[in-house]
Every structure is written in C-alpha cells, then in structure tokens.
Structure 1
Amino acid sequence: MKHTFVLPYFRTFVLLFLAACGGADRTPGAADADAGDHPTLSGGPPGGTLVVLADREPDELNPLTFNSNPAHQITQLVFRSLARRDTTLSDYVPNLARSWELEADSTLLIRLRDDVRWHDGVPVTAEDLVFTIERQRDVRTASPRRNDVIAVVSAEALDSFTVRVRLRQPGPYTVNALLEVVAVPKHLLDTVPAERMRFAPFSRNPVGNGLFRFAGWRAGQQVTLQANPDAPEGRPALERLVLRFVPDMNAAMTELLSGQGDLLKIPPDQRERVEGTANVEVRNAPRVRPAWIAWNTSRAPVDDVRVRRAILMGIDRDRLAEGLFGGVGEPALSPIPSSLREHSPAVQPIPFDPAGAGRLLEEAGWVDRDGDGIRDRDGRPLRLEIDYISTDQTRADVLVAIQSMLRRIGVDIVPRAYESTTWVERLRGRQFVGSLWGWGWGPGVVGPNAEAIFHSRSIPPAGPNFAGYSNPRVDALIDSVLVTFDPERRQRFWTQIEQQLINDAVYAPLYMDPELFGVSSRVRAPRFHGIEWSENVPFWHIPTERRLPRDRTG
C-alpha cells in the first residue's frame, strides 16, 4: 500500500479548497485589486485581525499534552500535523510530510518537507519527528493522543528529512493515525522529563512551525497569534488572530453583534437573533461531536450497569434536543455518530422508558423508602453529581432539563460547575461521578478514537478513557477493527462494538452538539469543511475596505 504526494499536489489542493470554500465569491473592488500584488492562501490581501470569542482559556499549548478544545484550535494554527484532512474529512494531503509510503514489511517511510522552520529559525528535521513520536508513546508523558502512535515499535531518522517507523501489525487506521501526529521542537524540549512535559514553560509560550506564530498569552484575557510570513506554501491573508476569552455568552453575543468580535460559536437559541443582524452571518460545521455523560465506573452507584441504563431510559432525548435546540436539535442515540460510516443502522438504542427505568432501579435495590420522591438504598439517596464547565451555558441548560426528567423516576441529579482548568484536572484524575462533555470524532481515525476512549488500555494515566470503561469483549473487538482491512468484516466488528457500548451505557450519549457559528460579514470565504474554525481560517481574509481600526497591527 502506497500513499505518495508531492508539493505540486498540495498547491492543487489549496486551489480546490478555495473553490470549495467559495473563495471565488469575493466582492469585486479594491480588495481584489490588492490580492494579485500580495499572494496569500486565500487570494485576498494580507492584513486584518480576526477576533475569535472563546468561552474559556486553553489549559496549555503543548501539542503532546493539551486536553481542551481551545488548545486544539490554537495548536492547529501554530503547529503542523504530518498531513491534514481534505474537504471530505476522510482522506489526507501533505502538510509537514511531503510523502509517506507503507511498505510490505510494516515499515512506514515518512519524508518531510525540507523548507519548514520552527518559528525561532531552526529547521524542522527528522530528529524532531522521532523525538515527538517517542515522547507521545511514552506513558509518562500522559498524552491524550498516545493512541495515535500506539502501533509504533520504533522510529529512526534515516537522514535529515526521512523517518522510518516500524509498526506492529498495521491496520486500516494505522497510517491515518500517524498522520495526525504534530511535531514539537526537540531542541527546546529534549531536556524536559516526560512526566513534566505539560508543566514546561513551553506549554505557555510555544514555538511552532505552522501558518501562525504564537505572539502572546495574557492570562484571563486573550491569546494572540501572528501570521507566519515565511510559511513555504504561502502566508495566511489574516495578519493577526486574537482568541479573546469571554466566558459570559450574553457578553460574547454583544461583542459579536456590535462588531467587537468576528467569530463566535453560538447556542441554537441565539440563531434567529444573529440571522436578523445585517453584519453577522450564521455558518454550520459538520456534526461529529456527541455530547455524553461519562460515568466513573469506579464510583457507586454508577458502577452498576442497571443504574446507568435506567438513567438513559429516564431521559427523553428527542424532547431534550428539540426543547433546547429547536429545529437544529439532534438526539444522540449512540456514542458513535450516525454521520460516520462505522455507525450501524442495525443497532438498538436504549429507549425512553420511565416505567422500565423504575423496574431496573428496583431490581438494583433503589426504592423510595421515605416518600420524599428520591429513591434510596442503605440509607443513601440516589443522588448523582455531574461535572461541567462553568462557562458552558448549553451544558448547564441540559443538566437542568435532565434533572427535571430524572426526578420523575426518583433520581436526583446535582449539577456541579467548575472552572475549566479544575474541570480538566478532575477529569484526568477521575475525581468525578459523572461528567458532561463531548468528543469530536475524526472521520479518518475512528478506530484510534474508539481505542482512546473505550479501550481499557486507555484508562488514565495511559489515555483519555476517563470513565475507566473496561469490557474485555469491546477491547477484543476494537483490537480486531484496528487490524482488519476487509471492510465488510470490519463493519461487523463495528456493529458489535457499537451495540455493546450502547448496552453498557458508560458513555451515555444525549445529543449532537449543534455546530453553529456567527461570523462577521466582513470576513470573506467563511465556510467550514471541518468541525473546528481553526481548520478553515488560514483560507479566510478581510477585504481592505472592510477593515476597522482594531485591524491595525503596527
């Protein structure tokens, strides 16, 4: 099996990407006249500042160890993965890697571009990639992305820009997972012990090699990025990108609608308000992120599958999605999104069945003995705390809604709001009973994603199976899909995995995150081919005549 891409192909990809993004639909005028004099990835004139309004800060910015969505968005811009997904989200085109080739003896040859430099001027070499792979697979690093390199036996530099990676038995997702690897600079991190990696100063002041350079982090306020004028494939048109932290959604909406911000992920109940505004447009991104409650299987009473199943049976997910999100609401009936080809329409979801939920809870010994409306056992009420990030109003509203539903079957839900850093630490340390969050599935790496979340070998500190889910049957089935090339046989394994995940209800899916964004109308080509805005903004621009005083960078 061979995948070989060359740089002219990459340039073709950029042109195709721009066509898909509607880059040719620019308004004629001064901006277009400027564009020919200043070639950029978008074709628009260089300059302008995009202000992104975020509900929280990143936890850190080390690609090996970060564990938050804001960090993922920033590192996508500051660093380079070996390859990037194309507009189908399933296939890959070159990024840091010039080409890759999987040989018959389970050896992957990766040839890097020879024209990429770290933002401090040092060339990016094969030694950086080898160092990154070794640190990422080291369990002491506690990388949430360790599963991307778990198939690696060894990695060695053959010359300055060629790496040979020896693999265990390769499978259909092995190469794609490796192409997601984001190289870090060996010359800045090789003296940092693996277990201290996420605490290194680099995590707050990263030196990348991507289309944007890190320019500063003002704690509690914003992260600023500057366009990399030396990017070999061409610089972004945007001169600067500011990720401003505005935890209050009302305040963020005010900034967006008044023109102080340019991009905001909006809750569905604000869609009509945005659509009624002349200077802001609503854009949709693909939905591949189910929101679920992860139950900590080491904590009673959710270590009992009967309790977990009863809780889902007590939640009307259709009503939840419709009530909170209106016409854009979509219930999640499986941990694996229906939009993925690995999903099976044959699986049987847990139904909304309050009476059946009551019978399960009684079977587990939970009965309302004191008549207060809440079931109890051995003198303890059936009271479950669920963590969420305090700035996420949608999650807060969801918990209020299911709190009301579950009281009807005698279960008391207690929402617990935590600042994002504390929430992440509680998740990593498995200090929670239940935690509400979402997982954005990578369509080309569904196997490694499933391994990361659902396999017992990914239980912390080895990986992000924060619920501690452990089912030997699921482990064996995941191991099988990772090495099975025959698509029909692999799909049979996926159907069994999905049904078992549904039955065990450790990761209890509630709804698909609505991926709605409010984008300033001054931004050109604001289309989304991926679920993150950061996959798209290098190809956006702000026409000269639409710029504001805050766009000045000098």
Structure 2
Amino acid sequence: MLGKRRNSLTIAAAIGLAAAASAGIAAESTFIGAFDVGPAGNAQKFNPLTASAGFSFYNKYFSTLTLYDVGLQKVAGDLAQSWHYSADGKTLTIKLRQGVKWHDGKPLSARDVKFTLEMVQNPDMASVFASRLGAVADIKAADDATVVLALSAPDATLPDAFTNIMILPEHLLGKLAAKDLRSADWWKSPVGTGPYKWNKYLPDQYVELTANASFYRGKPKLDKLINRYFKDGSSAAIALQAGEIQYSYLTLDQVRENEKNQAYKVVAGSSHVLNYIGVNKNDPRFKDVRIREAILLAIDRKAIVKSLYGGGATLGNCVLTMPKYVPADINHYETNVAQARTLLAQAGWDKLSKGEPIELLTYYNDQLSKDVVAALQFMLAQVGINLKPRFVDAPSFGPLVDAGKFSMVFAGSGNGPDPSALAPLLASAYAPPKGVNRMRVNSPEIDQLFQAGQRESDEGQRTEIYKNLCRVTNAQLPWIPLWVANRFGGFANNTQGVIWTPAPGGGRYQDLPETWSLR
C-alpha cells in the first residue's frame, strides 16, 4: 500500500492541502509549518551564513542569487537576473534583478552582494560556505546592478554555491565586524528581500512572518507564515494529525501510522542524502581498504532496505548518487560473508582489533535508525566485527568527530545536484580543524578530481570527471556507502499551491511560497 501511495504523489507536485490552524491564529490566511523538524531543520539558529541546514525557512524571508528548480536539476536566477564567465573562466559577472527591495524599502544593490560574499569569506564569520568561495580573489560592485568576481582559477561550481548563500543588507550591517555579526541579536529581527517579512519571535514557540507586499514576484496570497517549534518530531506529527499545523517532516513509521486514517497527505521522494558508515582514517584498524571492503560485503543492504525501509531506499556504491554521475562499471558489492571473512583474515583484523568492540557513533535517534543500527550490529558480528552503538544528538556529534574522538560512525551526507558540494567533506585540505572532512580522507586522486570538476565548464566533460570520482571512491571506499532513503513531507488536506521536495539541508530550490494558499 505504501508503494502505491508513493507513486501517486510526486516529489514536487503542487498539492492541495490544509487544516484548521491552532487556537488564536487565523486559519484562512495563515500557514503553520514545523519547518525545523527533521534533518533539514535548524531550529532557533538564525544566522544562515553559519548554517548547514534550515534553508527551507530561511528562504521565506531572505533570498539567494540562484536557486534550483524543484527537481534539483537546473540552476536558475533568484536575485541574479543572469551571469556569465569570461573566456578564460577567471571572471564571473553577475547582473542583479531590477526592482527588488529590502523589507525596509531600500533597493537591493550590488554592494549588498559584495558585502555578503566578503562576510562568507571572513574567517571570523566561520561560514560553512567559505570553502565554496575559495577561488574568489576579488569582488567588485561595478554599478548598482552588476557584481564582478575575479577568480584565482576557473570555478564552474559557483552558481551551485550561491543557492545556499542568503544575501544580507549592507546598509544595515556594513559597520558590523564579522565576529560581532556572527551571533548578533539582529538575526532575531532581520531584514531580507524574501516573500515574507519577519514579524515576531517567541523563543521555543514560533517565528511569525507576514506577507511582503513589495515582493518582486507579487504579494503572497497568505497573510502569515508561521514556523512552530516542537520538542520532537512525534509532537509535530500529532499536531499535523490534529489539524493544528499544515506541514511537518515525517519518519517512515509516522507515514505508516497515517495509512490507518489518512489524516493528512504524504509526499515522498529521494532524500538525496547518502547514508554511509564512516571510519576514522587516522585509526590504524581501518587504513587497509580490505577491511572497509569486508565491512560493506558483510552487510546485507538489500535485506535492510526491503525489511526496514519498506523498499523506500536505493543502494549507493560510491559517494555520488545522482544517476548521471554513477557509471555502470563499478563494483556493486553484493553481500558475500565468506569473502568478507577472507579479506579480514588477509588484513590481520584479529591482531588489529584485539577482540575489542568498536563504538559506532550516530546522531540518528528515530526508531527506524535504531533498528538499522541493530541490523548492522548483527551482520558485522557474523564476521568478527563487534559494534557498540552510541546514540547522541546532532549538536554533540559534530564536536566529537571534529576532535577525532570516534572510530566509526553511521551518518548521512547531502548529495545534491552538483558533486562539488562534497569537496569540503572529502578533500584532504578540509580535514579538521580546517574544515568538515571529518573522516580524515586523504586521497590525491579524489583531490585532483574535485579540482578538475571545479575548473571544467563543459557539462559533458564535468560529468565524465565526476563519473571517475565515483569509480575512485567505489574502489577506495573513503566512506562505506549504504543507501539513499526516501524522505517524507506530511501536509494537511486543504492547502493549495504548496510545492515541496526533499533536499539536503532544505531550501536550495524554488518553492514559490508566495503562491501558497488555504481553501
């Protein structure tokens, strides 16, 4: 039944959905969502330059230079009307859309873009996107509507990078130092250019946005958009079922529960997040690739996908998952317990491990993930690898792995439409403390392929470069790839024009919130 339901609801279809709003909020003109529930959320962290998730709500009041279409296939302009590279690829000229105003009525200017990109580059901001602007040597506001970037080397990935960088108002923030802006109170009453304006923030309760009548695509149909905070995803699902909110991220268990009464509609789609087992490459137990191969061969991934994910996941065999970048001639690592045992013996696993259990660290705490970890624990025990699971929350996970205080993790990584987004996670230059290559991957071949992909502007040639990246990571297993699971959005039954697709970190695509309405 679940499979049929998935087929009947496309990822980014406009869905007719709605419900009565919670007490005290006018249902006829207010959309209430649990925008920060689930892995794409970033609850009550309002600086988007330092965020790695939460963009689906940031995009409601800020804007970016570019955004993807809802299928995450093609980059188009948002604040940028157009852009073009020079013949040598070392100059990128961006023309801004005319008639865009900040929420305080001031016009958008190239100075705002220059200011924002320089803030991202400033080490005191500690922006997660600084590495994406590594080739940007100079930024000029040539006139009010033209931004010119001088590049130290060609970088074809910048339009993709821009989809996550919210543009800020230089006229309001230009005198603030990056270290002060990083955690300034301004973020709790910001001014953007998006379809909704910031109106009210009640800590631990909600943020209320109101329609921006001067939005460049037209005034939104809804008067208010509210992001309501929940202690956990279960509470949000209950509120959705009760008609108190119109949207929430859902787990597979919650989707199955809803099939009994169909209190709301479900949209399913690929998460574009590769789940993987990561190993600390500085740990001598995992340096031999045969050990990493044995781990993958010992896991019956097809059985886990069928029995635990209900078929709602696809296997991954390299760090890339977009079909266009995955060649047919890679090792598919079909389950082979006997071969796994042989490889472990050849690599001297017994001597390396000394029979001690290995801690498997993960920030996935839902019941499905706990069942998956139990399955991994059982399957690896069959070949003499004894796991000791440790479940922590996401804020605790980052500092632990950044400090190298781990041996093995069960994690996930956004696998968006441009593979260059993975460079900070896999290139050797970004190992902690310099970046988020948390598994300490150090492969000259991987480094060279990311650099080649960054510099190549021809789409066909870039595709071949990334196919080779898939081949190399399939052989070297810097991450031990598992699968890409579906994710689910739940919507009440009577809203109109709502567009949603699972996306790593949320946002990054044009969901046209100004067209959303309630019947």
1:90 and 1:400 map into 2 onto residues whose CA distance is 36
Alignment of 1:477 onto 2:466: no
Alignment of 1:359 onto 2:334: no
Deviation at residue 59 of structure 1 after TM alignment:
6.6
Alignment of 1:302 onto 2:325: no
Q: Which amino acid aligns with 1:312?
A: L
**Alignment counterpart, residue 241 of structure 2, candidates 257, 269, 284:** 257
Secondary structure, aligned partner of 2:254: helix
Match of 1:181 in 2: 165
Match of 1:285 in 2: 269
Deviation at residue 525 of structure 1 after TM alignment:
3.0
Q: Is the 8 A contact 1:109 1:164 kept in 2?
A: yes
Unaligned runs of 5+ in 2: 1-11, 19-26
Alignment of 1:84 onto 2:67: yes
Match of 2:78 in 1: 95
Of 303-312 and 532-541, the range deviating more from structure 2? 532-541
Deviation at residue 318 of structure 1 after TM alignment:
0.9
1:195 and 1:434 map into 2 onto residues whose CA distance is 34
Match of 1:381 in 2: 356
Unaligned runs of 5+ in 1: 1-19, 28-44, 368-375, 545-554
Q: Is the 8 A contact 2:17 2:495 kept in 1?
A: no
Q: Is the 8 A contact 1:515 1:531 kept in 2?
A: no
2:402 and 2:205 map into 1 onto residues whose CA distance is 25
Of 478-487 and 404-413, the range deviating more from structure 2? 478-487
Match of 2:129 in 1: 145
Q: Is the 8 A contact 1:523 1:540 kept in 2?
A: no
TM-score normalized by the length of structure 1: 0.79
Deviation at residue 179 of structure 1 after TM alignment:
5.6
Alignment of 1:432 onto 2:415: no
After superposition, the Cα gap between the structure-2 partners of 1:498 and 1:277, relative to the gap in structure 1 and judged at 3 Å, is same
Considering only aligned residues, what root-mean-square deviation do their CA atoms show, in Å?
Answer: 3.1
Deviation at residue 227 of structure 1 after TM alignment:
3.0
After superposition, the Cα gap between the structure-2 partners of 1:524 and 1:344, relative to the gap in structure 1 and judged at 3 Å, is same
Deviations 1:404-459 (A, max 9, x none): 2212222222222223322333345444333333223331x32x213222212233
Match of 2:383 in 1: 409
1:416 and 1:349 map into 2 onto residues whose CA distance is 29
After superposition, the Cα gap between the structure-2 partners of 1:417 and 1:206, relative to the gap in structure 1 and judged at 3 Å, is farther
Matched ranges for 1:387-402 at <5 A: 387-390=362-365, 392-402=366-376
Secondary structure, aligned partner of 1:476: helix
After superposition, the Cα gap between the structure-2 partners of 1:205 and 1:462, relative to the gap in structure 1 and judged at 3 Å, is farther
Deviations 1:237-284 (A, max 9, x none): 233333334354443332221212222222223334324434411112
Q: Is the 8 A contact 1:386 1:434 kept in 2?
A: yes
2:354 and 2:50 map into 1 onto residues whose CA distance is 42
**Alignment counterpart, residue 465 of structure 1, candidates 428, 431, 437:** 437
Match of 1:226 in 2: 210
After superposition, the Cα gap between the structure-2 partners of 1:237 and 1:429, relative to the gap in structure 1 and judged at 3 Å, is farther
Deviations 1:68-117 (A, max 9, x none): x3x22222222111022224533233211222232325322212234333
Deviation at residue 149 of structure 1 after TM alignment:
1.8
The count of residues paired between Structure 1 and Structure 2 equals 493
After superposition, the Cα gap between the structure-2 partners of 1:408 and 1:542, relative to the gap in structure 1 and judged at 3 Å, is same
Alignment of 1:60 onto 2:45: yes
1:164 and 1:276 map into 2 onto residues whose CA distance is 56
2:457 and 2:516 map into 1 onto residues whose CA distance is 42
Match of 1:318 in 2: 302
Match of 1:14 in 2: none
Match of 2:331 in 1: 348
1:126 and 1:524 map into 2 onto residues whose CA distance is 35
1:354 and 1:470 map into 2 onto residues whose CA distance is 28
Alignment of 1:525 onto 2:497: yes
1:424 and 1:354 map into 2 onto residues whose CA distance is 32
Q: Is the 8 A contact 2:67 2:76 kept in 1?
A: yes
Deviation at residue 216 of structure 1 after TM alignment:
4.4
Alignment of 1:134 onto 2:109: no
Secondary structure, aligned partner of 2:226: strand
2:384 and 2:455 map into 1 onto residues whose CA distance is 45
1:434 and 1:205 map into 2 onto residues whose CA distance is 41
After superposition, the Cα gap between the structure-2 partners of 1:296 and 1:194, relative to the gap in structure 1 and judged at 3 Å, is farther
Match of 1:51 in 2: 33
Match of 2:139 in 1: 155
Alignment of 1:452 onto 2:446: no
Secondary structure, aligned partner of 1:104: coil
Match of 1:4 in 2: none
Q: Which amino acid aligns with 2:358?
A: R
**Alignment counterpart, residue 73 of structure 1, candidates 53, 56, 59:** 56
Q: Is the 8 A contact 2:17 2:265 kept in 1?
A: no
Deviation at residue 514 of structure 1 after TM alignment:
0.8
2:190 and 2:218 map into 1 onto residues whose CA distance is 22
After superposition, the Cα gap between the structure-2 partners of 1:89 and 1:379, relative to the gap in structure 1 and judged at 3 Å, is closer
Q: Is the 8 A contact 1:344 1:494 kept in 2?
A: no
After superposition, the Cα gap between the structure-2 partners of 1:403 and 1:273, relative to the gap in structure 1 and judged at 3 Å, is same
After superposition, the Cα gap between the structure-2 partners of 1:210 and 1:433, relative to the gap in structure 1 and judged at 3 Å, is farther
Deviations 1:348-388 (A, max 9, x none): 13332222222333333332xxxxxxxx6475604123121
After superposition, the Cα gap between the structure-2 partners of 1:543 and 1:491, relative to the gap in structure 1 and judged at 3 Å, is closer
1:341 and 1:378 map into 2 onto residues whose CA distance is 39
Specify which structure has the bigger relative contact order, considering alpha-carbon pairs within 8 angstroms and separated by 6 or more residues.
2
1:66 and 1:500 map into 2 onto residues whose CA distance is 30
After superposition, the Cα gap between the structure-2 partners of 1:495 and 1:49, relative to the gap in structure 1 and judged at 3 Å, is closer
Match of 1:551 in 2: none
Q: Percent sequence identity over matched residues?
A: 25
Matched ranges for 1:320-335 at <5 A: 320-335=304-319
Match of 1:207 in 2: 191
1:306 and 1:194 map into 2 onto residues whose CA distance is 46
Q: Is the 8 A contact 1:383 1:414 kept in 2?
A: yes
Q: Is the 8 A contact 1:519 1:526 kept in 2?
A: no
1:170 and 1:485 map into 2 onto residues whose CA distance is 8
Match of 2:219 in 1: 235
**Alignment counterpart, residue 395 of structure 2, candidates 385, 402, 421:** 421
Secondary structure, aligned partner of 1:310: helix
Deviations 1:17-52 (A, max 9, x none): xxx8448x899xxxxxxxxxxxxxxxxx98222222
2:408 and 2:182 map into 1 onto residues whose CA distance is 25
TM-score normalized by the length of structure 2: 0.84
Of 502-511 and 48-57, the range deviating more from structure 2? 48-57
**Alignment counterpart, residue 472 of structure 2, candidates 497, 500, 516:** 500
2:163 and 2:491 map into 1 onto residues whose CA distance is 30
